[in-house]
């Protein structure tokens, strides 16, 4: 299996403290890309399910956008299908140039991927090792930690602060030998923001040679500006973006890593970054729809705040979220309430070990959330 690694990769891994016994696992991760069965949000969500979904199920478990692709994206995808017999080699570069222009970056600071899971996994390969740890929050999205454990890198979990933001000072204290600091902002599963000041503090005080991996999958649902200006300023920062969330393209797989060219080159060395032409077409049309993000942000916020008003009325505790999902405290093991909701054909997300009495719920359509509220009252009675 280690024959899948190049001589240069083997030397890099050896220099960073990997043994030859690790090479087979590393090669497996590279070959599998984002498909390893315990690394994706999709499979983590599937683990909590039993049996097929019933007809008419309210599916609010996987942080998907029920609106799907915007009309412009859907039309572009239909139009490009006739060219599906062609490789269209220039399409990724066109997408990267468009996204760079929208975000105020040079095109060589953008690398296209089929979603954001692949660059997340490969960033772990590029910057962690048995001698350089992976540091993340608790709770947060676990894919990076899973990849780090798989290749033998030490993993460090740091509890969120009382306001549910990343406790960056505690992360720094625990990660004096870190290779990669993973920050999901807004955080999955809490939907909470870590401040710009804290992100800058982390970048300014991290160990030399380490990198901050900032997952901005849900940034468009918030009013925060994101951190791409810090990428433009050549910080030791990789930002992940995806079209799975606000753009409604989860099944189409489009995303990007945005960073200094030398950091992107480290990630890119682990394999092919090819995207289907359908996802490229949809992503480019979405970027050109200038009012799309603001419109969808408002729709999601209005629906989310309506549910929070319902929680307040009935005195249910929840974590205030700025994303398209939230965590609600059910006062007992979360699986019990999730199972009760499922009996009413309402499918919600999972719990985390640090928050076993919370369940994560995706913001669906207003009609779906009305059904959720009725089923939730019944389950909590």
Q: Taking the domains of the chain in order of start, what are their residue ranges?
A: 1-26, 41-68+292-380, 70-288
What's the pTM value of the predicted model, to 2 decimals?
Answer: 0.90
Residue-level pLDDT at 231: 98
The pLDDT of 255-271, averaged and rounded, is: 94
238: three-class secondary structure by DSSP: strand
Tell whether the model's pLDDT for residue 47 goes beyond 60.
no
What average pLDDT does the segment 152-169 reach? 97
What is d(CA 357, CA 208) in angstroms, rounded to the nearest whole number? 39
Q: What is the mean pLDDT of residues 33-58?
A: 60
DSSP 8-state symbol, 291: T
Report the pLDDT value the prediction gives residue 272, as an integer from 0 to 100: 77
The residue ranking higher by pLDDT, 225 or 323, is 323
Tokens encoding 347: 């499918």
Instruction: Give yes or no for residue 288 having a pLDDT over 60.
Output: yes
Positive or negative: CA dihedral 351, 355, 359, 361: negative
Largest CA distance in the chain: 63
Q: How many other C-beta atoms are found inside a 10 Å radius of the C-beta of residue 145?
A: 21
Q: Which runs of consecutive H residues, i.e. helices, occur in 40-142?
A: 41-46, 71-80, 91-103, 117-127
Pairing outcome for strands 155-159 and 178-184: unpaired
**304 contacts 123 by C-beta, under 8 angstroms:** no
pLDDT single digits (tens) 70-89: 999 999 999 999 999 999 99
What is the residue-averaged pLDDT of the chain?
91
| Closest-CA residue to 128 (of 179, 182, 183) | 179
Q: Which fold has domain 41-68+292-380?
A: 3.90.1150
Q: Among positive and negative, which fits the CA dihedral 187, 190, 191, 192?
A: negative
pLDDT above 80 for 371:
yes
Distance between CA atoms of 145 and 157, rounded to whole angstroms?
9
The dihedrals phi and psi of 158, each to the nearest 5 degrees, come to: -120, 125
Partners of residue 258 on adjacent β-strands: 110, 239
pLDDT tens profile 236-247 = 999 999 999 999
Residues 6+ apart with CB under 8 A from 317: 311, 328, 329
| CATH class of the 70-288 domain in this structure | alpha beta
Note the pLDDT tens digit of each residue in 180-220: 999 999 999 999 999 999 999 999 999 999 999 999 999 99
How many CB atoms are closer than 10 A to CB 56?
Answer: 7
As a dihedral over the C-alpha atoms of residue 253, residue 43, residue 352, residue 343, rounded to 10 degrees, the angle is 110
Q: Which pLDDT does position 271 carry in this prediction?
A: 79
- Other CB atoms within 10 Å distance of the CB of residue 165: 19
State the Cα–Cα distance between residues 328 and 334, nearest whole angstrom: 9
Share of the chain above pLDDT 70, in %: 87
Is the pLDDT confidence value at 299 over 60?
yes
């Amino acid at each position: 299996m280690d024959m899948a690694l190049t001589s240069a990769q083997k030397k890099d891994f050896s220099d960073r403290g990997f043994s030859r016994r690790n090479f087979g696992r590393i090669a497996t991760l590279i070959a599998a890309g984002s498909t390893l069965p315990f690394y994706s949000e999709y499979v983590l969500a599937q683990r909590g399910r039993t049996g097929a979904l019933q007809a008419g199920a309210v599916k609010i478990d996987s942080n998907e956008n029920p609106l799907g692709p915007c009309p412009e994206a859907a039309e572009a995808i239909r139009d490009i299908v006739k060219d599906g017999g062609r490789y269209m080699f220039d399409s990724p570069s066109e997408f990267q140039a468009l996204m760079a222009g929208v975000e105020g970056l040079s095109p060589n600071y953008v690398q296209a991927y089929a979603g954001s899971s692949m660059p997340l996994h490969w960033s772990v390969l590029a910057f962690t090792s048995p001698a350089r740890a992976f540091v993340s929050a608790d709770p947060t999205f676990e894919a990076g930690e899973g990849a780090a454990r798989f290749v033998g890198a030490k993993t460090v979990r740091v509890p969120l602060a009382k306001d549910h933001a990343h406790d960056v000072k505690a992360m720094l204290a625990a990660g004096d030998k870190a290779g990669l600091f993973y920050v999901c902002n807004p955080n999955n599963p809490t939907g909470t923001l870590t401040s710009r000041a804290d992100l800058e503090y982390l970048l300014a005080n991290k160990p030399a040679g380490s990198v901050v991996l900032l997952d901005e999958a849900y940034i468009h649902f918030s009013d925060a500006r994101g951190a791409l200006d810090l990428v433009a300023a050549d910080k030791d920062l990789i930002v992940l973006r995806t079209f799975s969330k606000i753009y409604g393209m989860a099944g189409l797989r489009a995303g990007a890593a945005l960073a200094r060219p030398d950091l992107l080159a480290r990630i890119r060395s682990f394999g092919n970054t090819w995207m289907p032409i359908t996802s490229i077409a949809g992503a480019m049309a979405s970027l050109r729809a200038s009012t799309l993000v603001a419109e969808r942000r408002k729709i999601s916020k209005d629906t989310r705040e309506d549910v929070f008003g319902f929680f307040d009325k009935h005195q249910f505790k929840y974590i205030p979220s700025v994303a398209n999902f939230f965590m609600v405290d059910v006062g007992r093991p979360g699986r019990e309430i999730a199972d009760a909701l499922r009996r009413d054909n309402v499918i919600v997300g999972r719990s985390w070990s640090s928050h076993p009495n919370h369940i994560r719920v995706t913001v669906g359509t207003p009609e779906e959330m009305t059904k959720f509220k009725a089923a939730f009252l019944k389950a909590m009675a």
